[in-house]
Amino acid sequence: MDPDVWNEQVALGYDESSAHMYRPEVLGPTVDFLERRAGQGPALEFAVGTGRVALPLSARGMRVAGIEKSEPMARELARKPGGRDVVVTVGDMTTCRAPGTFSLVYLVYNAITCLLTQDEQVACFRNAARHLEPGGRFVIEVFVPELQRLPPGETARPFHVGEHHVGFDTYDLVNQQVVSHHYTIVDARGGSTFRSPHRYVWPSELDLMAKLAGLDLAERWADWDEAPFIASSRSHVSVWQKPGGRPAER
């Protein structure tokens, strides 16, 4: 994961640029889903960022911790009301250890793809398993690669065209890489650009990573509202469970 992407400038504007992810119809089902999977136990968010999900979970009385590689993002979280209640360990989610064990470890909003190699993604699963109590769950929200939507021979596809923002992805199909390009018009005097690299990953590939980490697939949905995952689904929320402990609950 490239730490320079998530710098001070990006951290300061992150919540505004991701405002649509804070809408109640988006955030509410996310928090509800994760709270149910955590049961009565503590939760750990990998790539906790500025606390979009961790803070409302904490506000419900859950003990929530986080791992975050970007110090500017972690500082933004700490500045928010309740931010000090989420104990953040600064480090790489592939290797960093947070104190204690957890009934839930989770990664949201495509954060697994910020790890740019298969080895790093495998290491992330193994690190999640190390943090989990027996019977604990690892939850990931991530997009399904949209290669079927690419015209033959093309490597770029727009994902948003608006009055003040244009975004498109460029694909490297050989190396399973995608770069998201964002061009935002701030005012009449200029705008800003932001590029973030990702490694796209298939659901079946994630399941194999989970098996290598000793986790079993327990659930897969198309979204946080638990719509069925089907061939045309553009994203998925998947749950893997560590053997032992209490039986699965939903």
When pLDDT is averaged across residues 164-178 and rounded to a whole number, the result is 91
DSSP H or E run through 78: helix 71-79
Q: Quote the pLDDT of residue 17.
A: 65
Do residue 151 and residue 43 come from a single domain?
A: no
**Residue 130 shares a structural domain with residue 232:** yes
Residue 155 pLDDT > 60: yes
For residues 54-60, average pLDDT: 96
Q: Could you read off the pLDDT of 9-42 as tens digits, one per residue?
A: 776 666 676 767 778 898 999 999 999 999 989 9
Taking 50 as the threshold, does the pLDDT of residue 248 lie above it?
A: no
Percent share of the chain, pLDDT over 90: 73
Domain presence at residue 83: yes
| Domain membership of residue 170 as a residue range | 147-196
Q: Exposure pattern of 109-135 as b/e (b: 16+ CB <10 Å)?
A: bbbbbbbbeeebbbbbbbbbbebbbeb
Average pLDDT, the chain: 91
- Are 137 and 159 in a shared domain? no
Residues 186 and 95 both lie in one domain: no
Rounded CA separation 51/48 (Å):
6
Number of domains in the chain: 2
Q: Residue 193 — very low, low, confident or very high, per pLDDT cuts 50/70/90?
A: confident
41 and 108 belong to one structural domain: yes
Q: Does 13 reside within a domain?
A: yes
